[in-house]
């Protein structure tokens, strides 16, 4: 199909982002999935992990308007949707002046999303779920292609749970492995010198891709998909009927980005990223990976299908043993010792994502012992 040439354009944009943001391939691939499936994406991670920078760089590749805002507990509707038009107000009409604001954006990024207050909550829910802006008697369809939300914590207030639920895909955005720091510095400096991305795709082309989603045939995988949904529910994940229906768009998006109009079991890799809590990650990944492993057709699989972002406790343990041996070697230089400490901090953070308490304790013990050795040497 001629339209599938647009897939190449989007994949080139995603590769440009991967070249620019080292160690963020999983997030960027999911951005491509959500953009094609016209679904929302939630980034969980601390400040300084390039969350907003990735969205801004993606926005540069599109020709539409972008809206970015840092929410606080005191954010008012006017700050997101625009003020009332004074001229119309004098005539007795309540009309919002949305120029340059959220209702006119193709790409929306809401940082610290979970700071949203009750004054804007209902309006945001309608934007996220129905792509509609409603204020008083005003109702308009929004042109937004994708909405990205970010926070450094998960919702604690029950009122915010509905807002969080509108983000179908959830992905962790963490600091890059210290071993990739040189690549990060090089790519970051190149980004400072480059203003125009070398790969672009326009608003209308993305809309065409989104329309192609309906042409992807899901019949062959639907029995396996139904079984997977039931398994996830049995494991304690609340997969509502609404979410189950919407997730089909993301599975179809995986097939489409591989230039296929027929979905295969490995396209269900996107289901790894529908967790509600951090503790669910490993459980969900294990269930989803079992389904993916049944896919005997290797050619044409999405590259993310066989990759898993959940930490492997055994691999981390083996690396810690090697690092401990290195640290005790008298011939190790000061620079090498500094690198070991940086790597240890990174692995310490990764261990927080090991949800099995026995495995986490198994790995944290050598981490604590190595830290003691480091402190004694100072």
**35 and 112 fall within a common domain:** yes
Tell me the CATH number at 114: 3.40.50.300
Render pLDDT for 192-211 as a digit per residue (tens, 0 to 9): 776 777 788 988 999 999 99
pLDDT at 309: 57
- With tokens 């991670």, the residue in question is 45
**318 and 286 fall within a common domain:** no
Question: Running DSSP on this structure, what letter comes out for residue 262?
Answer: B
Question: Running DSSP on this structure, what letter comes out for residue 44?
Answer: E
Q: Kindly provide the b/e burial profile for residues 296-312, where b requires at least 16 CB atoms within 10 angstroms of the residue's own CB.
A: eeeeebbebbeebbbbe
Higher pLDDT, 214 or 361: 214
Integer Cα distance of 121 and 127 in angstroms: 10
pLDDT at 88: 66
Query: How many domains does the structure of the chain reveal?
Result: 3
Residue 351 lies in a domain: yes
**134 and 249 fall within a common domain:** no
Instruction: With cut-offs at 50, 70 and 90, classify the pLDDT of residue 375.
Output: confident
Residue 238 lies in a domain: yes
**159 and 287 fall within a common domain:** no
Instruction: With cut-offs at 50, 70 and 90, classify the pLDDT of residue 352.
Output: low
**Per-residue tokens: 200:** 């672009």
Q: How far is CA 167 from CA 98, 114, 160, 245, 275, in A?
A: 24, 12, 12, 14, 11
**111 and 184 fall within a common domain:** yes
pLDDT at 188: 79
**143 and 69 fall within a common domain:** yes
Tell whether the model's pLDDT for residue 109 goes beyond 90: yes
Decide: 41 and 167 in contact? Cβ < 8 Å: yes
**Per-residue tokens: 172:** 């962790």
pLDDT at 157: 83
pLDDT at 1: 62
Say which range, 23-27, 309-313, 373-377, has the weakest mean pLDDT: 309-313
Q: How far is CA 176 from CA 85, 182, 270, 368, in A?
A: 45, 11, 22, 22
Instruction: With cut-offs at 50, 70 and 90, classify the pLDDT of residue 311.
Output: low
The residue length of the chain stands at 378
Tell whether the model's pLDDT for residue 310 goes beyond 90: no
Instruction: With cut-offs at 50, 70 and 90, classify the pLDDT of residue 2.
Output: low
Average pLDDT over residues 273-287: 86
Residue 211 lies in a domain: no
pLDDT at 274: 94
Alpha carbons within 13 A on the beta-carbon side of 90 = 2
Higher pLDDT, 296 or 88: 296
Tell whether the model's pLDDT for residue 314 goes beyond 90: no
Q: For the chain, what percent of residues have pLDDT higher than 90?
A: 42
Tell whether the model's pLDDT for residue 297 goes beyond 90: no
Residue 208 lies in a domain: no
The DSSP result for 303-345, as a single string, is: TTTT---S--HHHHHHHHHHHHHHHH-TT--HHHHHHHHHHHH
Render pLDDT for 85-104 as a digit per residue (tens, 0 to 9): 767 666 667 778 888 899 99
Residue 206 lies in a domain: no
* Angle 225-34-104 from CA coordinates, rounded to 5°: 140
pLDDT at 26: 92
pLDDT at 92: 60
pLDDT at 308: 64
**276 and 164 fall within a common domain:** no
Alpha carbons within 13 A on the beta-carbon side of 77 = 17
Instruction: With cut-offs at 50, 70 and 90, classify the pLDDT of residue 377.
Output: confident
**76 and 189 fall within a common domain:** yes
Render pLDDT for 148-190 as a digit per residue (tens, 0 to 9): 999 999 998 888 898 999 999 999 998 887 777 788 888 878 7
**245 and 359 fall within a common domain:** no
pLDDT at 62: 86
Decide: 229 and 30 in contact? Cβ < 8 Å: no
Render pLDDT for 338-347 as a digit per residue (tens, 0 to 9): 888 878 887 8
Render pLDDT for 136-150 as a digit per residue (tens, 0 to 9): 778 889 999 999 999
Residue 202 lies in a domain: no
Decide: 44 and 151 in contact? Cβ < 8 Å: yes
Last residue of a domain, one of 258, 292, 326: 292
pLDDT at 174: 85
Q: Residue 34 is part of which domain span?
A: 2-193
**177 and 222 fall within a common domain:** no
Decide: 359 and 310 in contact? Cβ < 8 Å: no
Which residues partner with 138 through β-bridges?
Answer: 135
Q: What average pLDDT does the chain have? A: 87
pLDDT at 150: 95
**Per-residue tokens: 210:** 């989104």
**140 and 87 fall within a common domain:** yes
**Per-residue tokens: 265:** 């079991």
Cβ neighbours of 169 (radius 10 Å):
24
pLDDT at 277: 87
**Per-residue tokens: 352:** 């927080």
> What's the sign of the alpha-carbon dihedral 288, 290, 296, 299?
positive
**187 and 321 fall within a common domain:** no
């Amino acid at each position: 199909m001629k339209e599938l040439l647009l897939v190449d354009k989007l994949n080139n944009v995603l590769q440009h982002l991967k070249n620019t943001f080292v160690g963020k391939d999983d997030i960027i691939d999911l951005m491509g999935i959500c953009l094609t499936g016209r679904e929302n994406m939630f980034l969980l991670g601390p400040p300084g992990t390039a969350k907003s920078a990735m969205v801004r760089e993606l926005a540069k590749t599109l020709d539409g308007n972008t809206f970015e805002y840092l929410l606080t507990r005191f954010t008012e509707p006017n700050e997101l949707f625009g003020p009332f038009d004074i001229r119309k107000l004098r005539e007795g009409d309540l009309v919002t002046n949305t120029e340059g604001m959220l209702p006119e954006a193709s790409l929306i990024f809401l940082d610290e999303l979970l700071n949203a207050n009750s004054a804007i909550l209902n309006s945001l829910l309608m934007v996220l779920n129905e792509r509609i802006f409603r204020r008083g008697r005003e109702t308009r369809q929004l042109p937004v292609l994708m909405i990205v939300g970010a926070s450094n914590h998960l919702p604690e207030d029950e009122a915010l749970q509905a807002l969080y639920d509108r983000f179908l895909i959830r992905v962790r955005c963490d600091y890059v492995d210290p071993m990739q720091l040189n690549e990060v510095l090089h790519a970051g400096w190149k980004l400072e010198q480059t203003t125009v991305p070398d790969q672009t795709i326009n608003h209308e082309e993305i809309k065409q891709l989104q329309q192609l989603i309906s042409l992807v045939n899901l019949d062959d995988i639907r029995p396996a998909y139904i079984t997977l949904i039931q398994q996830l529910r049995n494991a304690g994940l609340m997969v509502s009927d609404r979410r189950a229906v919407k997730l089909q768009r993301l599975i179809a998006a995986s097939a489409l980005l591989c230039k296929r109009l027929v979905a295969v079991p490995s396209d269900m890799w996107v289901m790894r990223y529908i967790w509600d809590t951090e503790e669910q990650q490993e459980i969900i990944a294990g269930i989803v990976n079992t389904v993916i492993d049944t896919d005997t057709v290797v050619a044409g699989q999405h590259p993310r299908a066989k990759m898993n972002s959940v930490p492997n406790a055994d691999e981390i343990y083996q690396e810690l043993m090697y690092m401990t041996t290195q640290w005790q070697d008298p011939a190790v230089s000061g620079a090498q010792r500094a690198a070991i400490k940086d790597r240890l901090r990174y692995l310490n953070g990764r261990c927080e994502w090991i949800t099995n308490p026995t495995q986490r304790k198994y790995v944290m013990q050598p981490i604590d012992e190595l830290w003691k050795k480091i402190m004694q040497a100072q």
